[in-house]
Amino acid sequence: MANLANKSTKTVYVCRECGESTPKWQGQCPSCSAWNTLEETAVATNTSSGGFAQKNRAVTSKSGKILKLSDVRMEDVTRWPTGSTEMDRALGGGLVPGAVILIGGDPGIGKSTLTLQVIAAISENRPALYVTGEESSAQVASRAQRLDLPLESIHVLAETGLETILSHVGQAKPQVVVIDSIQTLYSEQFNSAPGSVVQVRECAAELVRYAKANGVSILIVGHVTKEGSIAGPRVLEHLVDTVIYFEGEAGSNIRIIRALKNRFGAANEIGVFSMTENGLRGVANPSVLFLHNSQQQASGNVVFAAIEGSRPLLVQIQALVDRTAGNPRRVCNGVDSQRLAMLLAVMNRHLGSNLGGFDVFVNVVGGLTVDEPAADLPIIAAIWSSLTGKVVPSNTVLFGEVGLGGEVRPVVGGAIRVAEAEKLGFNRVVCGDVGRGARSKAELAIEVVNRVDRAVEFLRGD
């Protein structure tokens, strides 16, 4: 607080997308070219030689030398298990010392519950700290008690000041720290309110610097906007090592964490959880969860062999085609609407399905989002089944990319998709070419099709 006399404030305009600042307002950000994203922000400037800016320059001006990659010493990455197999899967094997993980998701989806469970599991083997800026210590203790977690092993700090937090962390020396949430933190070096672009950017940058310098693994919880992106500047996601999003459908107990960025593992890897009274529990076989009640014989139901990250999943795709009295509607949940429009055009041209007078509804059961081309054939089959009333046999699994010419193309991971269907007791697969490696058992019939009309003939029994 002694440096306050050397501080003065000035007004700048900060882009909420990229975090770039400019002294004057402009309609378009000069850095990222986004429109109407500059917001007026008051920041403090430190005129003393030992201020924040000087510290940043000292950090970034470390001497180095140019090396050949062949001369760089390779070291094995140490990983700390989080106590959750599904969380470890999404992270690529566990927490890495010095890594910063950003966890985003809708309010109430389970971010705080998951991080508290992780802290409780890690505290059994190494020092860890849960920093809460949204709740009091009593509220965190109450949640831990509801989750039946060991209260005596969890250390909590209720604080929002960044400098105070780093002081406590420096004294306690935990190896894992949870920050819940980044939007509640503020630095005394800036006059803007907590949650502003400047505060979020600078607090995150300081946490990243501390983690790298001290080998501390930090999990940062972030709020999301109504568009579903993490609130704050886009540079926040660039600063951290791993970005994880929580996904879940309203009213469903299924929760999915997806790694959209991971410097220490594969991106798009997922972990599947079930929300229970005792917290989040990992699901060892998610295909069984997504195929709940899928064996019922009804038109419009199709089982799709998907791949999420490196994991094969069997999910149910449903379609409902109903005659409309006005403009036909195209409603989809878990499927890209533009992709659906293209597939409907393929059906009109190559299957003779006149869908102009029908509403079309497509849904992926369980709240899962399917964005891979391998879902083309199952979506077409589900729509065709609902339109004609023909039931696709419940022992059949489909996958395959469909082109504009009606051709069915092979997709990556055909062999592991077939193996997953075989493991769960399905005995028929309709797909594009999967190669000889997928043919393992005589009980599993693989119907290879090269056109969408041929696939319909198989389903119809011709």
Q: What is the pTM of this model?
A: 0.77
What does the block give as tokens for 264?
Answer: 């220490």
**Mean pLDDT score, 77-86:** 90
Predicted pLDDT at 292: 60
Rounded to the nearest angstrom, the gap between the alpha carbon of residue 384 and the centroid of all alpha carbons in its chain is: 32
Residue 332 binned pLDDT confidence (cut-offs 50, 70, 90): very high
By CB neighbour count within 10 A (0-12 exposed, 13-18 middle, 19+ buried), where does 193 fall? exposed
Q: How many CB atoms neighbour CB 30 within 10 A?
A: 11
- pLDDT computed for residue 26 by the predictor: 85
Q: What percent of the chain has pLDDT over 90?
A: 50
- Over 80: is that where the pLDDT of 51 sits? no
Residue 171 has a pLDDT of 95
* pLDDT > 70: percent of the chain: 88
* Residue 390 near residue 384 (C-beta atoms within 8 A): yes
Q: What is the mean pLDDT of residues 435-444?
A: 61
Residue 409: predicted pLDDT: 92
Residues 249-286: tens digit of each pLDDT: 767 788 889 999 999 988 888 899 998 888 999 988 88
pLDDT score of 50 more than 50? no
Sheet of 21-22, strands arranged across: 21-22, 7-15, 38-46
Residue 369: is it exposed, middle or buried by C-beta count within 10 angstroms (0-12/13-18/19+)?
Answer: middle
Lowest mean pLDDT among 329-333, 335-339, 365-369: 365-369
Residue 290 has what pLDDT?
Answer: 78
**Phi then psi dihedrals of residue 384, to 5 deg:** -60, -40
Write down the CATH number for the domain with range 288-460. 3.30.230.10
pLDDT of residue 58: 39
Q: What are phi and psi of 206, to 5 degrees?
A: -70, -40
Q: What's the pLDDT score for residue 48? A: 43
pLDDT for 153 beyond 70: yes
For 62, phi then psi, to 5°, come to -65, 140
**What's the mean pLDDT in 20-31?**
83
On the question of pLDDT at 2 being above 50, the answer is: no
Question: What value does the mean pLDDT of the chain take?
Answer: 85
Evaluate if residue 445 carries a pLDDT over 80.
Answer: yes
End-to-end Cα spacing for the chain = 82
Provide the pLDDT confidence category of residue 4 given band limits of 50, 70 and 90: very low
In terms of pLDDT, which residue wins out, 19 or 145? Answer: 145
pLDDT band at 77 (very low <50, low <70, confident <90, very high): confident
Interval 87-117: pLDDT, tens: 999 999 999 999 999 999 888 888 999 999 9
Task: Name residue, tokens 């000041």.
Answer: 161
- Identify the burial level of 40 via C-beta atoms within 10 angstroms of its C-beta, where 0-12 means exposed, 13-18 middle and 19 or more buried: exposed
Give ∠ CA 327-333-335 in degrees, rounded to 5: 95
Span 117-138, average pLDDT: 94
The set of residues, in sequence order, having a beta carbon less than 8 Å from that of 53 and lying 6+ positions away, is: 46
Amino acid letter for position 200: V
Rg of the chain over all Cα atoms, to the nearest angstrom: 26
The pLDDT of residue 438 is: 56
Strand, coil or helix: 346: helix
> Is a pLDDT exceeding 80 seen at residue 296?
no
> Who wins on pLDDT, 430 or 64?
430
How many beta carbons lie within 10 A of that of residue 247, not counting itself? 17
Look up the CATH architecture of domain 85-284: 3-Layer(aba) Sandwich (3.40)
What's the confidence (pLDDT) of residue 129? Answer: 96
Q: State the pLDDT at residue 227.
A: 66
Domain ranges within the chain, ordered by starting residue: 1-47, 85-284, 288-460
